[in-house]
Structure formats: C-alpha cells, structure tokens
Amino acid sequence: MSTTQTAPVTGQAGQLHLTKRDRIAVWLRSTFMQASNNYERLITMGFTFSMIPVVKRLYPNQADRSAFLKRHLEFFNTHPYLASPILGVTMALEEERANGADIDDASIQGVKIGMMGPLAGVGDPVFWGTLRPIIGAFAASLALSGSIMGAVVFFVVWNVVRMAFTWYTQELGYKQGRNIVSDLSGGIMQKITMGASVLGMFIMGVLIPRWTSIDLSKIVFSSTDMGAVAEKFPGLTTLLDLINGGGQLTAEALTNGFSGIQDMLSNGYTALTNAAAYPDAPVRLMQTTTLQSVCDSLLPGLMPLALTMLCLFLLRKKVNPIAIICGLFVVGVIGAFVGIF
Amino acid sequence: MEIILVLLVALLAGFEGILDAFEFHQPIVACTLIGVVTGHPAEGIALGGSLQLVALGWMNIGPAVAPDAALCSVASAILVCMKGVDMGVGISAAMALAVAGLGLTIIVRTITVGLIHAADSAADKGSIRGVEAAHLTALLLQGLRVVIPAALIIAVPVDVVQGALDAIPSWVTTGLSTAGGFIVAVGYAMVINMMATPKLWPFFFLGFAFAALSQLNLIVLGIIGLCIAFIYIQLAPEFNQQSVQATGAAGDDLDAIINDYE
C-alpha cells in the first residue's frame, strides 16, 4: 500500500511521510467538513475527521493518537473550501512533528487560527457572494427556458471548480508549509476577491431589473381615447371588418391584421369597443397611463431597484432577512386584496 | 419506488444543506431531481429555476444560518410534482418551509454540541472510530432533518392538500404569487450587503444601466462584466504599487516619441 515505514514513533527524522494516497483521502474527507457544524466549536470535528488519514499514518501509538485528536478538537471555523489550504499546512506541520521536529500544540493551533480568519474572509465573498449567485442565475435562466441543462451545468461547473480548488490549495498548503500565509496575503488572493466582487456587483446590477417582476399596471392614472383604431392601424380594421362581415379571410389580411395588433400593443395602446358614444367607428384606440408606464418611461427597472435598495437599507439596520421576506408577502397579499396587483 | 427515490433526494439535500459541498440542496438541483424521479421533469425544472433566483443570496456564514434551501426545495418540489399544486403557491409554501427548516437546522446544530462532547471522550481514549462516528451521526441527523418532513408531506393525501388549498381565497394566492415575483429582491440585497464597498457601487449601476439594453443577453453581459473586472484589476492603484516607476518610464517613452515627431 505504501513505501513508508510506520513503526518508529519519534526521533527518526524523515522516516514518516504522508503518501499521495493519504493526501487524496484527506481531500475526499474534507467534503464532509461541515457535517457536524455546531454552536460550540463550529467545524472543528470536520477538520479532525478530515485529518484522520494523517493520524493513522503518522501516529501508531495510542497515546499519540489521543493527543492528536484532542489538539485538533479545539475550536476551529472557516469557509469549508478554504479549510483545504489550512489542512495542507497542518499536514506538513504534523508530519514534521512526527519526525521529531520541535513543534508544540500551541504553534499548530496558532497556525490554524491565524489562517482561518483571513481565508474565511476570502471564501465567503468569492464562493457564496459571487460564484454561486452567478452560476445559479445563469443556470436558472436556462431552467426557466425549460432546459434540464440548467441543473446539469450548475452541478458540473460548481463541483469541478470546488474540487479543483480544494485539491490544488491543499497541495499548495502541504508543499509550502508555513509560508502559505504570506503567499496568500501577497496580493493574488486580494486580486481574486476584488475581481470577483467587481463582476458580482455588475451582475447584481443586471439581474435586479431583469429578474424582479413588479407589475404596477393595475394602478391606472388616466385612460384617453386616441381616436378610432382605423385611423392609425388600418390593417387591424380590415381584419376586424372581415371577421364581423364575413367575406374571404386572406393570408395577407391576417398578416397585416396581426402586425397591426403588435404595433398597437408595442406602442402602449389598448383597444376598447364603445358603440354608444361612437356609432360610426365603435372600436376606439385607448392610451392608458399606469404607474408602471410612468416608471418605465422614467427609467426601466426603477421599481425593482427601489425595492432592492429598501431591502438593503433594512438589512443594514439589522432587520432579519426572514422578517423582510414575510413583510413582502404581507405587502403582496394586502396589495392583491385591495386590487393593486 | 418513486417515494424511495424522492426520499433519497431529500436525504442528499439534507446532507448538503449543512455540507455546502456538492450543492444538491440548491433548488435548481433538488427540484430538478425530484421532477425527474416523479416523472414531471418540466415542472421540476421550472420550479427549480424560479426558486434558485429567490435563494441566490441565502448563504451560511459562520454560525449564522440562512433560510433553509434544502427543505424549501424538497418540500415545494413534492407539492408541485407529486401533488399537482400550482407553481406560485408552491413557491410561497417553500418560503414558509424555509423558515421552518431554519428552526430545524438550529435544533440539529444544538444537538451536535452533545456529539462533540462524545467525540472529546472518544479522543481521550484515542478512539479514531469514536470521533468518526460522532461526526457522521451529526451528518445523518442533518439528513433526517429534511427526510422526515418530506415523508410527512408525502404521507398527507392529495385531496387533503388540494382541499386545503381550495379553501384559500384567491386574493391570498394572487398576493403570494405576486410577492413571489419580487421577493428575489431580498436575496439580491443580501448578496450586495455582503460585497458592497464604495469602490464597487459604480459597477453595480453600470450593470443596471446595461440591463436596460434588452438585446444583450446574460452571456454577453457576463463577458462585459468579466472584462470590466480584469481591466479594473490591471488599472487599480492598490494593485499597482510598483508600476509607479513603470508609468514614469512609459511617460519617458511617450516623450521620446513626441520628441521624434518634432
């Protein structure tokens, strides 16, 4: 199974070595990093669980194993994927310690604590704040067009990125040992975080007007009669005459008629029959001004933007997001009751 | 058979609800899977797409837990794909369940505090198995947190669900569906709240302005966003400390060229 000796315990420098198979086992186990996330020590048990191939390789002695498990069960928390470089560094430290280097519990714990904060600060905005919303939004747009590829693309892209990231950073941590902390703060991580945030903010700006649906067209300010439909859209009238008076419906009349309807609607008109007031030309062209049409003429996406800003304001005031969601449902139901929606 | 497969998806979603690794619990994956195993892929995909937009900003950071995407996707997919509930109502039911799921997650995370003390005593004995068992028990509890409610929802007969839904007045369902359309704003706000700094706001409004051009689809806009991000990193002063001299040199080159022309 491996080429290394596991019999000698300490004092034999360079005797104990973590094989690639061990490192792959740690990598696979790190998938379960968060399983026992709890309020007392957060993901520490997941870290210990991931390190178990390491203790099996390095410490055959029961007392050493007990000490290893106890020192890694101290408090630990970070972003689950960014735990990988920390695992790598800790593996390197444990390997040296097992080979007799003078590394005490405090320095192992110190390296873990020192890395976990800054790395969580990178992982949260990059993975949860940017990558997942963007891949999710792209996949959702595929799904909303009815394609199963949305789910497939999301799953495959996410997991390829995640597994490549955790393996590569774990190896980097293992090979670089303690130097990794200065490596990561050397600018590349900041660049990635900054670039991801720029892209993320840009995409959020795009998604808000595109994908928030607020329809205020039931709030009607005015409705003006713009004259007979016949005057502006003759094709439409020909179609109506043909339907009313029978006669021969030709393909040309149909095509003209439907393009007339499209023209009418895209110009913001609606049609209304008013035979009582206008017996000669009963089909009237109406222009209705609604709250929605006013907002659209000012700035497309104005209402979604305003709503998002309101939510952001409430979040900054430490209002619980769940309270905001419930509040919006109440607004929706009350709005439907009084007839706004 | 169908029920077993649905419960299997529920178990995976429950695991992932805490692991956040494979992302089986994300609505687009969980709803699509349930749609496929129940023979209603179209409904599952459409529900997954809509719910995914709502859940964009739901993220677990540190000890804070977001609304539970796992229970929300699984339960609403069961309602829509197995009970034939209307999509809009399914989404609003999902919101209620996301909050209920949050409560269940908190309970499991509290129980897990007990498990970590079990792991401590296993560590005292040097028992690797004991630590592993404690960790995986916690994972199993997280899975059951979704499987049990899902089984309860499946167990309720269709006509009871339908009868209960028919009893709801239409303005409530209209209102809930309408709210479902703009509730995504909360998710967007959560993402923005996490990322926004004064330097980043211009990019937000740039995206907003580009979005008004309806000819540009999301892929095009994504390319524009990526280019802007790259250009920003290249030009931003905070990443170009050493290039102060470089700019000076470039200026000299430019001067040289201008001088040549004179």
Give the gyration radius of chain B's Cα atoms.
25
Contacts 24+ apart (CB under 8 A), A111-117: A111/A86, A111/A178, A111/A181, A112/A47, A112/A76, A112/A86, A113/A76, A114/A181, A115/A78, A115/A85, A115/A86, A115/A89, A115/A180, A115/A181, A116/A76, A116/A77, A116/A78, A116/A83, A116/A86, A117/A78
Q: What pLDDT band is residue A187 in, cutting at 50, 70 and 90?
A: low
Answer yes or no: are the C-beta atoms of A170 and A27 closer than 8 Å.
yes
Look up residue A44 and give its two tokens. Answer: 């520490």
SS (H, E, C) B148-199: HHHHHHHHCCHHHHHHHHHCCCHHHHHHHHHHHHHCHHHHHHHHHHHHCCCC
| 3 state DSSP class of B25 | coil
Answer yes or no: are the C-beta atoms of B55 and B26 closer than 8 Å.
yes
- Residues 6 or more apart whose Cβ sits within 8 Å of residue A125: A193, A196, A197, A200, B194, B195
A244 in any annotated domain:
yes
How many domains does the structure of chain A reveal? 3
Domain match, A193 and A48 both: yes
Check CB contact of B52 with chain A, cutoff 8 Å.
yes
State the pLDDT at residue A35: 92
Query: In this predicted model, which residue has the larger pLDDT, A160 or B98?
Result: A160
pLDDT value at B153 more than 80: yes
Q: Chain A residue closest to B174 (CA)?
A: A336
Domain match, A285 and A254 both: yes
By the 10 Å C-beta count (0-12 exposed, 13-18 middle, 19+ buried), A261 is classed as: middle
Q: Do A36 and B185 touch (CB under 8 A)?
A: no
Domain match, A166 and A268 both: no
pLDDT value at B238 more than 60: yes
Check CB contact of B185 with chain A, cutoff 8 Å.
yes
Check CB contact of B39 with chain A, cutoff 8 Å.
no
Domain match, A325 and A266 both: no
Check CB contact of B19 with chain A, cutoff 8 Å.
yes
* Host domain of residue A227: 220-294
Distance from CA of A315 to the nearest CA of B (A): 7
A9 in any annotated domain:
no
Query: In this predicted model, which residue has the larger pLDDT, A141 or A118?
Result: A141
Mean pLDDT of B184-188: 81
Q: Do B23 and A154 touch (CB under 8 A)?
A: yes
Q: Do B46 and A151 touch (CB under 8 A)?
A: no
Q: What pLDDT band is residue B46 in, cutting at 50, 70 and 90?
A: very high
Average per-residue pLDDT for chain B: 84
Distance from CA of A82 to the nearest CA of B (A): 12
At B1, which amino acid appears?
M
Query: In this predicted model, which residue has the larger pLDDT, B252 or A116?
Result: A116
| pLDDT tens sequence across A229-276 | 777 777 777 777 776 666 666 777 777 777 777 777 777 777 777 777
Look up residue B62 and give its two tokens. Answer: 């540190």
Q: Do B46 and A143 touch (CB under 8 A)?
A: yes
pLDDT value at A13 more than 60: no
Pick the closest to residue A172 from A151, A189, A152, A160 (CA basis).
A189
Domain match, A56 and A200 both: yes
**Core vs surface per residue B15-46: b (16+ CB within 10 A) or e:** bbbbbbbbbbbbbbbbbbbbbbbbebbebbbb
pLDDT value at B125 more than 60: yes
Q: Do A202 and B203 touch (CB under 8 A)?
A: yes
Check CB contact of B57 with chain A, cutoff 8 Å.
yes
Answer yes or no: are the C-beta atoms of A325 and B67 closer than 8 Å.
yes
Domain match, A246 and A149 both: no
| 3 state DSSP class of A273 | strand
Check CB contact of B206 with chain A, cutoff 8 Å.
yes
| pLDDT tens sequence across A78-121 | 899 999 999 999 999 899 889 888 888 877 887 887 778 777 77
Answer yes or no: are the C-beta atoms of B212 and A209 closer than 8 Å.
yes
The residue of A204, A215, A322 whose CB has the most chain B CBs within 10 angstroms, and thus the best one to mutate to test that interface, is A204
Query: In this predicted model, which residue has the larger pLDDT, A172 or B250?
Result: A172
Check CB contact of B26 with chain A, cutoff 8 Å.
yes
A115 in any annotated domain:
yes
pLDDT value at B66 more than 80: no
Per cent of chain B over pLDDT 70 is: 89
Out of B116, B122, B191, closest to residue A38 by CB: B116
Mean pLDDT is lowest, of A140-149, B37-46, B157-166, for B157-166
| pLDDT tens sequence across A197-224 | 888 888 888 888 887 878 887 888 877 7
Look up residue A162 and give its two tokens. Answer: 């995640």
Domain match, A174 and A126 both: yes
At B257, which amino acid appears?
I
Cα–Cα distance measured from residue B18 to residue B70, given in angstroms and rounded to the nearest whole number:
9
Domain match, A189 and A238 both: no
Domain match, A326 and A269 both: no
pLDDT value at A7 more than 80: no
A73 in any annotated domain:
yes
Q: Do B122 and A212 touch (CB under 8 A)?
A: no
Last-in-domain residue among A153, A176, A210:
A210
| 3 state DSSP class of A249 | coil
- Residues 6 or more apart whose Cβ sits within 8 Å of residue A207: A137, B56, B188, B211
Query: In this predicted model, which residue has the larger pLDDT, A309 or B59?
Result: A309
Domain match, A203 and A260 both: no
State the pLDDT at residue A197: 83
Pick the closest to residue A314 from B56, B181, B186 (CA basis).
B186
Q: Do A190 and B193 touch (CB under 8 A)?
A: no
Pick the closest to residue A272 from A332, A320, A218, A225 (CA basis).
A225
Per cent of chain A over pLDDT 90 is: 30
Cα–Cα distance measured from residue B60 to residue A71, given in angstroms and rounded to the nearest whole number:
26
Contacts of A159 in chain B (CB under 8 A): 22-23
pLDDT value at B121 more than 80: yes
State the pLDDT at residue A50: 96
Cα–Cα distance measured from residue A40 to residue A120, given in angstroms and rounded to the nearest whole number:
18
Answer yes or no: are the C-beta atoms of B96 and B76 closer than 8 Å.
no
Strands A220-228 and A269-273: unpaired
A74 in any annotated domain:
yes
Would you say how long chain A is, in residues? 341
Mean pLDDT of A280-293: 78
A8 in any annotated domain:
no
Q: Do B204 and A205 touch (CB under 8 A)?
A: yes
Distance from CA of B103 to the nearest CA of A (A): 12
Average per-residue pLDDT for chain A: 82
A80 in any annotated domain:
yes
Cα–Cα distance measured from residue B91 to residue B76, given in angstroms and rounded to the nearest whole number:
6
Q: Do B62 and A42 touch (CB under 8 A)?
A: yes
Mean pLDDT of B33-50: 93
Q: What pLDDT band is residue A193 in, cutting at 50, 70 and 90?
A: confident
**Best-predicted range by mean pLDDT among A214-228, B75-89, B231-245?**
B75-89
Per cent of chain B over pLDDT 90 is: 40
Q: Do A143 and B29 touch (CB under 8 A)?
A: no
Domain match, A287 and A322 both: no
Q: Do B23 and A73 touch (CB under 8 A)?
A: no
The four Cα atoms A245, A249, A254, A256 give a dihedral, to 10 degrees, of -70
Distance from CA of B8 to the nearest CA of A (A): 17
State the pLDDT at residue B261: 55
Mean pLDDT of B89-107: 80
A316 in any annotated domain:
yes
Cα–Cα distance measured from residue A105 to residue A92, given in angstroms and rounded to the nearest whole number:
14
| pLDDT tens sequence across A37-70 | 887 788 999 999 999 999 999 999 999 999 999 9
Distance from CA of A182 to the nearest CA of B (A): 16
Walk across the sheet containing A269-273 and list its strands. Answer: A220-228, A283-290, A269-273
At A285, which amino acid appears?
L
State the pLDDT at residue A2: 41
| pLDDT tens sequence across A118-140 | 777 778 878 988 889 889 988 99
Q: What pLDDT band is residue B23 in, cutting at 50, 70 and 90?
A: very high
pLDDT value at B241 more than 70: no
By the 10 Å C-beta count (0-12 exposed, 13-18 middle, 19+ buried), B252 is classed as: exposed
Answer yes or no: are the C-beta atoms of B145 and B71 closer than 8 Å.
yes
Cα–Cα distance measured from residue A138 to residue A131, given in angstroms and rounded to the nearest whole number:
11
Domain match, A61 and A199 both: yes
Helix or strand holding residue B19 (H, E): helix B2-19
Out of A48, A151, A328, closest to residue B48 by CB: A151
Answer yes or no: are the C-beta atoms of B221 and A203 closer than 8 Å.
yes
Distance from CA of B256 to the nearest CA of A (A): 33
DSSP A17-82: ---HHHHHHHHHHGGGTTTT--TTTBTHHHHHHHTHHHHHHH--SHHHHHHHHHHHTS-B---TTT
Cα–Cα distance measured from residue A330 to residue A94, given in angstroms and rounded to the nearest whole number:
56
